[in-house]
Structure 1
Amino acid sequence: MLSWQSVIRCFGGIRFRPLVMVVLCLSAVVQAEEPADTEPRTAEQWLERLGPALNMTSYRGVFVYARGDQVSSLQIAHRYRDGMVEERLVLQDGGSGEIVRKGMRVVCVLPDQGRVQLDQVIPSGPFAEAFSSQLMPVIRWYTPELIGEDRVAGYDVVKIGLKARDEHRYSHRLWLEKSSGLLVKSHVRSTRDDVLEHFQFTSLEITDDIRDAELEVQTRGQEIERDLSKESVTSPAPRMDGWVLRWQPDGFIAAAAPRSGKGQAVAFSDGLAAFSVFVEPAGRISMPTGASRIGATTVYINQLQAGDQPFMVTVVGEVPPATAKRVAESVEIDDALAFETAER
């Protein structure tokens, strides 16, 4: 399933300068074994089932995503057949638009007012599946706990807690459908246990009877198409050109290199949460420094000098403001000419 954060951003999420527009409209398929027939007994065993269930469970439904005072609702049809994931998401309120994915091919149909670039890729949330196999185990940075059982959208679920082991990341709670392991509800929680972001299915039908017509583009509008299979071969390894990062939280490693106009950018993930660092020459219009937050997403802007050249550093991601601030203030420019070369 595509990240719900990515869907909200694709259809018009936070609006910042183009460099800081964070978008994730696609995720790769996880190659995993079929879930076992026996019901898991521990939180760790349930988490092992989560990855395959995200892709390999077929279902249709409607879910809501709340971040701060912003609430959005989307309809989804998801099918796993013959080893391929197919999915269609349709915005239910606000404007129009949809995302259709068939295997490694993704099409975004945008509303008239929508603005999105599919090459700004940042993994986020429990659906950062393309990166989870490359990273250290999530339980090294979060303490898993089996909290109990519940019901969501008419299905019996098990409730899992992931408590952050340090102050540099948020804790999570996940509700997994018991027969499949499908994620049907989740919370991102602050250090004070406040709910910062909330995802939940309001209606859900887990079924293999998903028709072809449910997975076809039906909205008129600007289409942006992408073939992920080509990118997996040609995408360069993430790197920092002209700048260095002197500090990052334990467990967060470079996972992607989103394009950033005239600047440089690198995304970091611990397998569950993610943040990105954007570095660019400062323009004529001075941006206010400091932090802002919507839900669990923090934006921290810092300005620094490299000789006579001013630069702007922006950190965006699902980390606490104090973490974003420390990351931003640890950036150093070691080659200002690298940015001039990138502009040519």
Structure 2
Amino acid sequence: MRFFGAVLALLLAFLANAIAGETETCANWLKTVAFAGHETDYSGVFVYQHDDNVETSRITHIVEAGAEYERLEGLDGPKSEILRHDGQVWLSSEHGMLQMDSQQGRGRFPSLLPQQLTALTENYQAKQAGKERVAGYDAQVILFQPKDTLLYSHKIWVHSESGLLLKAAVLDDKSKIVEQYAFTQLQIGGKIDRAWIKSKVAANFHDSKKAKQVDAAATPVHLNSGWAVNFLPAGFKKITELERPMHGKHLPVTQIVYSDGLSAVSVFVELNDHDEDDLDGLSNRGAMTLYHKVKGEHLYTVVGEVPPRTIAKILDSIRYTSK
């Protein structure tokens, strides 16, 4: 019995060391991935797949003297592109140029991972899931399994040399793909037309005064509204709370944002000035779920990258406490 006990102890110690080694390896990969999308020169075409839809985009990203330049073109539907540089973002379309809130576009492919990884590693178990090739490049596959069953799993394919994200998928509890981003053509480093993208951005700097901008009066105001959510999946914490005007709304809307480091959920509360109860409803696009519900005088809206049942539980737990 002592012999078998000693063998069991050795096996448990071996497994513990193996798990610790796996965790450290994945953590090192994640640190590389989190910064690679911002520090690497690349140009390519990627597809975004959700439900039965496929959307194609072309992206060019360069770094010069510590500054990022990026152009993202939509290749399907009406012509449009997004330009980013030095914390400024422009949307160019057939309707003209619009200078956007710099907060918009965070978490975009291939820069999906946050640079602050503490919350991510606390709330997900990361493990290596083999090696594959994507768009002609060798990739390390990493699987994120949530510690809360009310969340999606995430799978990423990372370029073995640069750490650039080549592919990313969101999986449901049956390992079925909910949505996926993947490069189909890609050049990492090398001769990328730097002058062209820099001149394009510079032109927008000069034309920025002509661009439509968010009205200063529409700037969000941070506050403690008194609204609270009594249910959140494990690991989710409040990131910000603010009051902001929204297009088509007569009164400001309260918005509370929660995140676990990888997924985010926004809760919106407003007075129901439509005098209707038929606004209730749930819809989703890929991993993004949106749920409206009228309760008394208020219209609640919850939107986030979590399963529908989780969105519903969050909305049903919204309560007014006190300021």
TM-score, length of structure 2 as denominator length:
0.77
Letter in 2 for 1:146: Q
- Establish whether residue 270 from structure 1 lines up as the match of residue 260 from structure 2: yes
Residue 287 of structure 2 is aligned to residue 296 of structure 1: yes
Structure 2's unaligned 5+ residue stretches are: 1-22, 247-251
Give me the whole-angstrom Cα distance separating, in 2, the residues matched to 1:249 and 1:60. Answer: 37
Aligned-pair identity (%): 31
Partner amino acid, structure 2, of 1:43: C
Equivalent residue in structure 2 for 1:78, among 61, 81, 103: 61
Cα deviation for residue 182 of structure 1 reads 0.2
Deviation, 1:209, is 3.0
Amino acid in structure 2 at the alignment position of 1:195: I
Match of 2:234 in 1: 250
Structure-2 residue corresponding to 1:65: 48
Q: Distance in 1 between matches of 2:53 and 2:308?
A: 19
Give the Cα–Cα distance (whole angstroms) in 2 for the partners of residues 303 and 195 of structure 1. Answer: 32
- Secondary structure (helix, strand or coil) at the match of 2:77 reads coil
The aligned counterpart of 2:26 is 43
Q: 1:251 & 1:183 partners in 2: Cα distance? A: 24
Bigger RCO (CA 8 Å, 6+ sep): 1
Give yes or no for the alignment of 1:185 onto 2:176. Answer: no
1:189-208 equivalence runs, <5 A: 189-208=171-190
Pairwise CA distance, 1:91: 0.9
Cα deviation digits, residues 75-118 of structure 1 (max 9, x gap): 11101121111101111110111111112122111333999963
Give the Cα–Cα distance (whole angstroms) in 1 for the partners of residues 65 and 86 of structure 2: 11
Answer with 138-147 or 282-291: which moved more: 282-291
Q: Is the 8 A contact 1:255 1:267 kept in 2?
A: yes
State whether residues 271 and 298 of structure 2, in contact with CA within 8 Å, keep that contact through their aligned partners in structure 1: yes
TM-score by length of 1: 0.73
- Tell me by how many angstroms 1:256 deviates: 3.9
Q: Is the 8 A contact 1:128 1:271 kept in 2?
A: no
1:332 aligns with 2:322: no
- Partners in 2 of 1:192 and 1:60 — Cα distance? 34
Instruction: Quote the Cα distance in structure 2 between the aligned partners of 1:255 and 1:273.
Output: 12
Output the CA distance in 2 between the equivalents of 1:48 and 1:248: 27
Q: 2:95 aligns with which of 104, 112, 116?
A: 112
Count of residues in Structure 1 that have an aligned counterpart in Structure 2 = 283
Shift of 1:274: 0.7
Compare 67-76 and 285-294 and name the one that shifted more.
285-294
Equivalence for 1:320: 307
Q: Which structure has the larger Rg over C-alpha atoms?
A: 2
State the alpha-carbon separation in 1 of the partners of residues 97 and 64 from structure 2. 31
Q: Partners in 2 of 1:304 and 1:66 — Cα distance?
A: 35
- 1:88 corresponds to which residue? 71
Call closer, same or farther: CA 1:212–1:255 in 2, change over 3 Å.
farther
For residues 97 and 309 of structure 2, the distance between their equivalents in structure 1, rounded to whole angstroms, comes to: 31
Unaligned runs of 5+ in 1: 1-39, 227-233, 339-344
Q: Which whole-Å CA distance do the structure 2 matches of 1:53 and 1:119 have between them?
A: 20
3-state DSSP class of the match of 1:298?
Answer: strand
Q: Which contiguous aligned blocks of 4+ residues in structure 1 show a shift greater than 6 angstroms? A: 113-117
